Amino acid sequence: MINPSPFSDAFGKHQRAKRMLRLRRDQVQAVVAHAWEAAPNECCGLIGGDETGQAQNIYRLRNVNSNPETAYEAAPEELFAAQRQMRERNEHLLAIYHSHPRANTPTPSETDVRLAYYPGAIYLIVGLAGEDAILRAFEISEPEQSWHEVEYAILDE
């Protein structure tokens, strides 16, 4: 098991983020590049970081879904390897990212909400349908089948 998200309580129950997810500009560029490389399929990955919400590492995962143009499923062996690396680095799961290649303004799909198994993690979705990629962040509550957009910060460091 990976370290719980700093956005969850001790029991893993979903709470509003008390700390903002912070990504360096190069990390955002890496996520967006992954999305463009995977298009027209969806990409997926994890973002590990510290308890303050500062992202430290991006973990690109292979999408093995049988319909990768409209859904994502991380390759289990890569997911487990990423979780193991996060444990070894004492990182928390801060965010799960994936792309919606045909979305201008990405929002969680019904499937995204139904399969949101990591309470407290932020879900980043990259939309690629416009001239520029759009990256939006959400908190998703699978038990309540709901979501809301949250802010994140991009640092120039």
Please report, in tens digits, the pLDDT of each residue of the chain (157 residues total): 334 444 443 334 434 445 689 999 999 999 999 999 999 999 999 999 999 999 999 999 999 999 999 999 999 999 999 999 999 999 999 999 999 999 999 999 999 998 888 878 999 999 999 889 999 999 998 778 889 999 999 999 7
Question: 4 lies in a domain?
Answer: no
Number of structural domains the chain divides into = 1
Domain CATH for 75: 3.40.140.10
d(CA 59, CA 15): 24
Structure tokens at 37: 């490389």
39: in domain: yes
* CB neighbour class for 45 (10 Å; exposed up to 12, middle 13-18, buried from 19): buried
Gap between the Cα atoms of 127 and 140, Å rounded: 17
Cα–Cα distance, 89 to 56 (Å, whole number): 10
Q: What is the pLDDT of residue 144?
A: 81
Residue 102 lies in a domain: yes
Q: Is residue 14 part of a domain?
A: no
Distance between CA atoms of residues 84 and 100, nearest Å: 27
Q: What pLDDT is recorded for position 78?
A: 98
Residue 6 lies in a domain: no
- Whole-number pLDDT of residue 7: 44
The H or E element spanning position 112 is: helix 110-114
Domain that holds residue 111: 21-136+150-155
